[in-house]
Amino acid sequence: VSSRLRQPTTSVVPSITAVRAPLVGAGAVLCVPTTPRRRGLPELGAGGDELRAMGVPLTDFLRAEHATGKAGEVVAVPLHRDGVDTVLLAGVGDGSTGALRKTAAAVVRRAKGSRSLATTLAAGRDPDAVRAIAEGFGLAAYRFATGSADPPKLRRVKLVVDVPADVRGPLRRAAATVAAVHLARDLANQPSLEKTPEWLAARAEEWCAAAGVSVRVRAGAELSAAGFGGVVAVGRGSARPPRFLE
């Protein structure tokens, strides 16, 4: 899927960018990873020292929640000071791409009530892991917006890493995947009364043109002449004539 695809969409997704440390000051919600240990509480990852220096009682909350560090586990520490609403301690399990995608999804759902999120989940990880994290954030943040719905509060996600330039490629690929999936979800969620064959064909022409892809729309007599008898026959059962995209 081309990253140039910029389709009109009714879904809303926060921007996902990479920034340098420090973690503190980068967002209203701060998130650091935790990793399982054989015994005892999970180990805190990058950013943990910054939070300890702020006096955040991380160990107390991990113990109170019987945290294990498994993938998708999120322990919330309310703070409401120094520009930080909440600290999230997110378990990453075995650190696989699947585990990281699951963790990112859980984190973004917990942070949806704030305007910005900053996390060290991607710090020190390989390109595939960074992409999985960004996809987890983008896909879990999906919401089909209607005209009467309030816009989501979470608008910015910052990945705190050592060298932001090193993760631009994975972030671009993740953005292309997220855009494509959001488009598919938007099409599925669009009310059928509005999603006519003519409407869908017009949207396809717009999206393909933006991505540099050629598209041909067949309609009316052209369908019959080209031998699309089945499409024409089925279309006779509707007041909205069929279209064929290629």
Q: Dihedral of the CA atoms 168, 173, 174, 176 (nearest 10)? A: 130
Spatial distance between the Cα atoms of 94 and 13, rounded to a whole number of angstroms: 27
Q: pTM of the predicted model, to two decimals?
A: 0.85
Task: Check residue 245 and give its pLDDT.
Answer: 87
Farthest-apart Cα atoms in the chain, separation: 75
pLDDT digits over 221-231, tens only? Answer: 888 888 888 88
Q: Which helix (H) or strand (E) holds 1?
A: none
Arithmetic mean of pLDDT over the chain:
89
Q: How far is CA 109 from the centre of its chain?
A: 10
| For residues 194-216, average pLDDT | 88
Whether residue 20 contacts residue 161, with contact meaning beta carbons closer than 8 Å, is answered with yes
Q: Which residues pair with 90 in a beta bridge?
A: 33, 74
Beta strand segments in the chain, E: 15-19, 29-35, 43-44, 74-81, 84-91, 116-119, 156-160, 217-219, 243-245
pLDDT band at 5 (very low <50, low <70, confident <90, very high): very low
Two structure tokens written together for 187:
């099409």
Please tell me whether the peptide bond between 33 and the residue prior to it is cis, using omega within 30 degrees of 0: no
Task: Check residue 7 and give its pLDDT.
Answer: 42
| For residues 179-202, average pLDDT | 88
Angle formed at CA 24 by CA 18 and CA 30, multiple of 5 degrees: 75
Spatial distance between the Cα atoms of 160 and 190, rounded to a whole number of angstroms: 36
Q: Which amino acid is at 212?
A: G
Spatial distance between the Cα atoms of 143 and 9, rounded to a whole number of angstroms: 11
Short-list 109, 121, 110, 104, CA closest to 18: 121
* 52 vs 10: which has the higher pLDDT: 52
pLDDT band at 3 (very low <50, low <70, confident <90, very high): very low
pLDDT band at 237 (very low <50, low <70, confident <90, very high): confident
Task: Check residue 1 and give its pLDDT.
Answer: 40
pLDDT digits over 83-99, tens only? Answer: 999 999 999 999 999 99
Spatial distance between the Cα atoms of 94 and 209, rounded to a whole number of angstroms: 42
pLDDT digits over 18-51, tens only? Answer: 999 999 999 999 999 999 999 999 999 999 999 9
Spatial distance between the Cα atoms of 32 and 242, rounded to a whole number of angstroms: 52
pLDDT digits over 138-154, tens only? Answer: 999 988 876 656 667 88
pLDDT digits over 160-187, tens only? Answer: 999 999 999 999 999 999 998 988 898 8
pLDDT of 8 higher than 60: no
Task: Check residue 149 and give its pLDDT.
Answer: 61
pLDDT of 132 higher than 70: yes
* 64 vs 208: which has the higher pLDDT: 64
